[in-house]
Amino acid sequence: MNLFAFELKRRRIAIFWWVLGLSALQLFMLSFFPLMAKEQGMMDLILQYYPKEMLAAFGLANATSLGDLSGYLIFSFIFAQVALAIYASMEGFTVLSLEETENFADFLLTRPVSRTYIFVIKYGSCLLANSILALAVIASTMIGIFYFGEGATITRNILILFASLLPLQLLFFASAMAITQTMKTVRSPLTLSMGLGFGMYMLYAMRGALDSEGLRYLNYFSYLDISRILQNEGIEPVFILLTILIVFGASGFSYVRYLHRNIVSK
Amino acid sequence: MNIIDIQSLTKYYGKAKGIESVSFSVKEGEIFGFIGPNGAGKSTTIRTLLGLLHPTSGSATIFNQDITLCGPQIRKDIGYLPSEVFYYEKMKVKELLEYSASFYPGNHKKRMVELATLLELDLNRRIEDLSFGNKKKVGIVQGLLHQPKLIILDEPTSGLDPLMQHKFFELLRQENQRGATILFSSHILQEVQNLCHRVAIIKDGTIVKIEEVASLRQNTYKKVRVSGQISEADLSELSIRDFKKWDHSISFVYQGAATDLLQVLSKCKITDVLIEEPTLEEIFMHYYTSESES
């Protein structure tokens, strides 16, 4: 068993449950769409009475309607995005630090492999795990649209949304990994992941409610903004550039720090 | 040929000293003891050699290859047993050992079973269900299964019962006879005394003495106990220390030729003499105290 197989085997149960949970979430959320489409007029009327800031917080300020598939996805798809962000953060907070936290580092780092090899393999296994989850969300969303979409089709905007999932995950993964390389030990990766995922979502919601331009740069959900993508505004080039810079910058920083990290005995 | 060659190796953790200017060599086929109390710098030296720590200054080679440049190549031929053993708790012993073996070229299944049988280790148990002693056995097997040319042991016997320690030492002797070089770190001097050819004594991160175990014991100090009419003044010509006096006997540690000692004693009315070799512990403490005094 090589390191890559070992890394995948180690997280296979977690991947299974996350795939199951995310798929169920997507199908559950989309199963309400026929009702929304049927009662479109009433839903639109209800939403008119909601405060504008509250609708903006959910990305619905300019949405056409909850009875429209794009409008409904703006509301429902963000939950999958937050879940994917939390999983990606979990991977980031544990990928390089798990061995040290659990005291296995001596075992792995005294094998005849370089730290570069370990970094690349671990990075690759996380990339694959995140891709599997993204594919599960995409597949379940497509199945959901097929069964509950009331005849709606997969539009170009929805395909862009699907394509933005992995970059969004990588933003969280790379950032979390970089954070661990500035810490001595990572005691509670789940808490940190939830903090990063929900924290960024709160900033995203606040950005919408406050209509703050500055907050757009401080949360990753705004970089690949579901609301803008589905309302045909696409992804702004500056945020594509920021995404690339952060993912490569944080990954490079983590790599250099990992190469020079001292593994002290417990 | 030197298997390990360390030159002025220094490691600081921020401002805290780990080791400073550590230099010694381990020859091919040698069992080299590395002794010192906890916190003296033994593990820091070993972990730097293995690439777990990055040296602040100095250099070291293993198999004539620089430890900072050729770590992966060097580690192909190293078997390492850390002082504290931690493994993936959910794995079975067999899975962990197979995983460990997969990093080394060749098939090591037969050797794995041989070692596990010798050490009475159940391969089908989960790591989390093992006692500390059994985890240590897992460590021994994973360290030796690829028949390394250099075996590095950091406090290897903690957790092993005396019978298992005996088996372990026999195993190490066999590995040594096969041609393996061994770096054996311990604070239990008896172990080093029984197993090693040479020994380095480390104190506060600095090497205090490097000597052959045999000459360390034979050529340095004798413990002397004399009964009869004798006082400290009678021994003024001799180099002695740790003088103690009882009602009818004295004891001291003597350094020098045995004939000089016997000449002095022959001038006194003595009834009994006991001259003993000091234990390595006493020699060790001697180096510690004399270094502190200087």
Per-residue pLDDT band at B89 (split at 50, 70, 90): confident
**HSE (CB half, 13 Å, CA atoms) of A148?**
22
**HSE (CB half, 13 Å, CA atoms) of A98?**
17
Per-residue pLDDT band at B253 (split at 50, 70, 90): confident
Give the pLDDT of residue A44. 80
Q: Shortest CB distance from B50 goes to which of A110, A260, A264?
A: A110
Q: Shortest CB distance from B99 goes to which of A6, A105, A117?
A: A6
Structure tokens that stand for A155 in this block: 């539009």
Which 3 state secondary structure label does DSSP give B244? strand
Minimal C-alpha gap between A131 and chain B (Å):
26
Query: Whole-angstrom Cα distance, residue A109 to residue A130?
Result: 25
Place of tokens 């169920």: A24
**Strand ranges inside B125-190, DSSP E:** 150-154, 181-186
Structure tokens that stand for A229 in this block: 């993508």
Structure tokens that stand for A89 in this block: 């953060």
Digit-coded pLDDT (tens) for A76-130: 899 999 999 999 999 999 999 988 888 888 999 999 999 999 999 999 999 999 9
Q: Shortest CB distance from A104 goes to which of B75, B86, B95?
A: B86
Edge-to-edge strand list for the sheet holding B269-276: B239-245, B249-255, B221-229, B269-276
* Ramachandran class of A4: left when φ > 0, alpha when ψ lies in -120 to 50, beta otherwise: alpha
Structure tokens that stand for A117 in this block: 């090899």
Q: What percent of chain B has pLDDT over 70?
A: 93
Q: Which of A36-40, A245-249, B97-101, B268-272 has the highest mean pLDDT?
A: A245-249
Per-residue pLDDT band at B257 (split at 50, 70, 90): confident
Minimal C-alpha gap between B160 and chain A (Å):
20
* Positive or negative: CA dihedral B269, B274, B280, B281: negative
Question: What's the average model confidence in pLDDT over B3-28?
Answer: 95
Tell me, yes or no, if A264 comes closer than 8 A to chain B by beta carbon.
yes
Question: Taking CB atoms and an 8 Å limit, are B86 and A106 in contact across chains?
Answer: yes
Taking CB atoms and an 8 Å cutoff, what residues of chain B touch A113?
Answer: 72, 75, 103
Question: Taking CB atoms and an 8 Å limit, are A103 and B104 in contact across chains?
Answer: no
Question: What's the average model confidence in pLDDT over B54-66?
Answer: 96
How many Å is the Cα radius of gyration of chain A?
20
Of the candidates B215, B82, B213, which has an alpha carbon nearest to the alpha carbon of residue B142?
A: B82
Q: Shortest CB distance from B84 goes to which of A2, A102, A265?
A: A265
Taking CB atoms and an 8 Å cutoff, what residues of chain A touch B102?
Answer: 1-2
Per-residue pLDDT band at B18 (split at 50, 70, 90): very high
Q: Which amino acid is at A12?
A: R
Of the candidates B148, B146, B136, which has an alpha carbon nearest to the alpha carbon of residue B111?
A: B146
Minimal C-alpha gap between B156 and chain A (Å):
15
Query: Whole-angstrom Cα distance, residue B279 to residue B35?
Result: 14
Tell me, yes or no, if A103 comes closer than 8 A to chain B by beta carbon.
yes
Give the pLDDT of residue B36. 86
Q: How high does pLDDT run on average in chain A?
A: 91
Exposed e or buried b per residue across A12-31, where buried means at least 16 C-beta atoms within 10 angstroms of its C-beta: eeebeebbeebbebbeebbe
**Cβ–Cβ under 8 Å, residues A144 and A26:** yes
Tell me, yes or no, if B70 comes closer than 8 A to chain A by beta carbon.
no
Question: Taking CB atoms and an 8 Å limit, are B103 and A103 in contact across chains?
Answer: no
Question: pTM to 2 decimals?
Answer: 0.86
**Cβ–Cβ under 8 Å, residues A75 and A60:** yes
Digit-coded pLDDT (tens) for B103-158: 999 899 999 999 999 999 999 999 999 998 899 999 999 999 999 999 999 988 88
Structure tokens that stand for B76 in this block: 């192909």
Residue B154 pairs with which residues in a beta bridge?
B185
Question: What's the average model confidence in pLDDT over B274-278?
Answer: 82
Digit-coded pLDDT (tens) for A89-98: 999 999 999 8
Taking CB atoms and an 8 Å cutoff, what residues of chain A touch B54?
Answer: 260, 262
Among B45, B47, B142, B147, most A C-beta atoms within 10 A, so best to mutate, is: B47
Give the pLDDT of residue B292. 56
Tell me, yes or no, if B100 comes closer than 8 A to chain A by beta carbon.
yes
DSSP B35: E
ipTM: 0.82
Which 3 state secondary structure label does DSSP give B16? strand
Minimal C-alpha gap between A264 and chain B (Å):
7
Q: Which amino acid is at A133?
A: L
- Interstrand relation of B78-81 and B221-229 (parallel, antiparallel or unpaired): unpaired
Count CB pairs under 8 A between chains A and B: 68
Q: Scanning every residue of chain B, which has its alpha carbon at the shortest distance from the alpha carbon of A103?
A: B86
Tell me, yes or no, if A105 comes closer than 8 A to chain B by beta carbon.
yes
Q: Which of B58-67, B90-99, B221-230 has the lowest mean pLDDT?
A: B221-230
Q: Scanning every residue of chain B, which has its alpha carbon at the shortest distance from the alpha carbon of A112?
A: B72
Q: How high does pLDDT run on average in chain B?
A: 89
DSSP B40: S
Q: Which of A235-239, B142-146, B251-255, B279-283 has the lowest mean pLDDT?
A: B279-283
Question: Taking CB atoms and an 8 Å limit, are B100 and A107 in contact across chains?
Answer: yes
* A215, pLDDT greater than 90: no
* B27, pLDDT greater than 80: yes
Q: Report angle CA B192, B198, B199 to the nearest 5 degrees.
A: 60
Minimal C-alpha gap between A243 and chain B (Å):
33
Of the candidates B256, B232, B229, B234, which has an alpha carbon nearest to the alpha carbon of residue B243?
A: B232
Digit-coded pLDDT (tens) for A193-207: 999 999 999 998 888
Give the pLDDT of residue B293. 56
Minimal C-alpha gap between A174 and chain B (Å):
24
Q: Which of A34-48, A58-72, A164-178 has the lowest mean pLDDT?
A: A58-72
Give the pLDDT of residue A134. 97
Exposed e or buried b per residue across A184-199, where buried means at least 16 C-beta atoms within 10 angstroms of its C-beta: eebeebeebbbebbee
DSSP B92: B
Per-residue pLDDT band at B222 (split at 50, 70, 90): confident
